[in-house]
């Protein structure tokens, strides 16, 4: 089956080719899907999309006229796809629901440790032959209160890691996980309580209308002075301008982010020779207590293998007209 793969990155290409085993005719494109590039899917019954691709209603309409019937996402999230419009057009959508929750949970912990112990600053100092310890003081994680918002697979693994560091753990989710309560002594509460009591807050929930800007100026005002905020989930969960104000007032003492609400067209690309046009992220980058990675939390060999294998499995199932179990449906 001919499949146009948009936003193909060098780091994933060998995994996709290996998982395909020559079964499908993969047209691997580096360009991201947009209204202007949708025509590149001409002749393909299926397409495959990544995080930065635009599958909004207008784009889907254009794809439908080209004969596209299936979208195989190489991601767990699908907020870049107009799901209701896809259903209306008869375009099926499938995702990769779990590729490596360990990768993202471990990256979250890496951000926590790097920010706390100022590892980037320390590394840069030593490279400049400056071995002073002034300004590098961190804090013991043992005994601190960590707030984990979202106790799905990723959140649950981070809870296990934080428990190993001796943290008291507050959590919030619509469904309580009794195993987490019994194994790690977590306490389920609401978002406001977490904001008021946690020394570290990490976000692990999907971006839906009800969670858009979950962390806004009001909730930041409730937080402890000098709180650490971590977001490796979806950029839109955080009002970035409100975070900047929180950093300026020192309400937020540390901010680690792997996702950004305006990352489309910015992340996953080399802009080293460009003038940065995004004033918001440019301001964020001026803070020495902010650590930004460009949506790389998932980036491990295990995750890339699982993403490729699940994506190709979804394509196989569509070609055979049988469900994969990974379909995205309208609620």
pLDDT per position as a tens digit, 272-287: 999 999 999 999 999 9
pLDDT of residue 124: 96
Kindly list the strands in the beta sheet with 290-292, ordered across the sheet, starting from the edge strand earlier in the chain: 187-188, 168-172, 145-149, 200-203, 227-231, 252-257, 290-292
| Helix/strand/coil for 218 | helix
Mean pLDDT for the stretch of residues 89-109? 95
* 320 C-beta neighbours (distance < 10 Å), count: 9
pLDDT of residue 77: 85
Strands 227-231 and 252-257: parallel
pLDDT bracket for residue 2 (50, 70, 90): very high
pLDDT per position as a tens digit, 3-48: 999 999 999 999 999 999 999 999 999 999 999 999 999 999 999 9
State how far the Cα of 317 lies from the Cα of 324, in Å rounded to an integer.
Answer: 6
pLDDT per position as a tens digit, 291-320: 999 999 999 999 999 999 999 999 999 999
Is 295 among the catalytic positions? yes
pLDDT of residue 98: 84
State how far the Cα of 274 lies from the Cα of 229, in Å rounded to an integer.
Answer: 29
Here the tokens at position 74 are 């190489």
State how far the Cα of 290 lies from the Cα of 153, in Å rounded to an integer.
Answer: 26
State how far the Cα of 154 lies from the Cα of 138, in Å rounded to an integer.
Answer: 26
- Shortest CA distance to 152 belongs to which of 120, 104, 199? 104
This prediction has a pTM of 0.91
Residue 331 has pLDDT above 80, yes or no: no
Give me the catalytic one of 61, 263, 271, 319.
Answer: 263
pLDDT of residue 264: 83
Q: Which residue ranges form the domains of the chain, and what is each CATH number?
A: 2-99+301-319 (3.40.50.720), 101-292 (3.40.50.720)
Give me the catalytic one of 295, 301, 309, 319.
Answer: 295
Give me the catalytic one of 12, 95, 234, 261.
Answer: 234
pLDDT of residue 121: 96
């Amino acid at each position: 089956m001919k499949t146009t793969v948009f936003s193909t990155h060098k780091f994933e290409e060998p995994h996709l080719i290996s998982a395909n085993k020559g079964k499908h005719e993969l047209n691997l494109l580096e360009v991201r899907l947009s209204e202007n590039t949708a025509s590149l899917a001409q002749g393909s019954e299926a397409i495959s999309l990544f995080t930065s691709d635009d599958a909004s209603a207008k784009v889907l309409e254009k794809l439908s006229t080209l004969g596209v019937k299936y979208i195989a996402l190489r991601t767990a999230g699908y907020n870049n796809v107009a799901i209701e419009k896809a259903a209306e057009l008869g375009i099926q959508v499938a995702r990769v629901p779990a590729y490596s929750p360990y990768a993202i949970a471990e990256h979250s912990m890496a951000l926590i440790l790097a920010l706390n112990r100022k590892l980037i600053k320390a590394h840069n100092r030593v490279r400049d032959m400056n071995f002073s310890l002034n300004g590098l003081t961190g804090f013991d994680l043992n005994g601190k209160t960590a707030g984990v918002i979202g106790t799905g697979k990723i959140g649950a693994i981070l809870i296990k890691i934080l428990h190993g560091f001796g943290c008291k753990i507050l959590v919030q989710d619509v469904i309580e996980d009794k195993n987490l309560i019994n194994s790690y002594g977590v306490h389920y509460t609401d978002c406001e309580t977490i904001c008021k009591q946690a020394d570290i807050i990490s976000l692990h929930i999907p971006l839906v209308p009800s969670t858009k800007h979950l962390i806004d100026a009001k909730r930041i005002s409730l937080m402890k002075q000098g709180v650490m905020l971590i977001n490796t989930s979806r950029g839109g969960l955080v009002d970035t301008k409100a975070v900047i104000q929180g950093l300026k007032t020192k309400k937020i003492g540390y901010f680690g982010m792997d996702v950004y609400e305006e990352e489309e067209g910015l992340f996953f690309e080399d802009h080293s020779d460009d003038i940065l046009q995004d004033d918001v992220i440019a301001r964020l980058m001026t803070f020495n207590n902010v650590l930004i990675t460009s949506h790389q939390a998932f980036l491990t060999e295990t995750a890339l293998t699982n993403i490729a294998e699940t994506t190709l499995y979804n394509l196989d199932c569509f070609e055979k007209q049988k469900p994969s179990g990974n379909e995205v449906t309208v609620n």
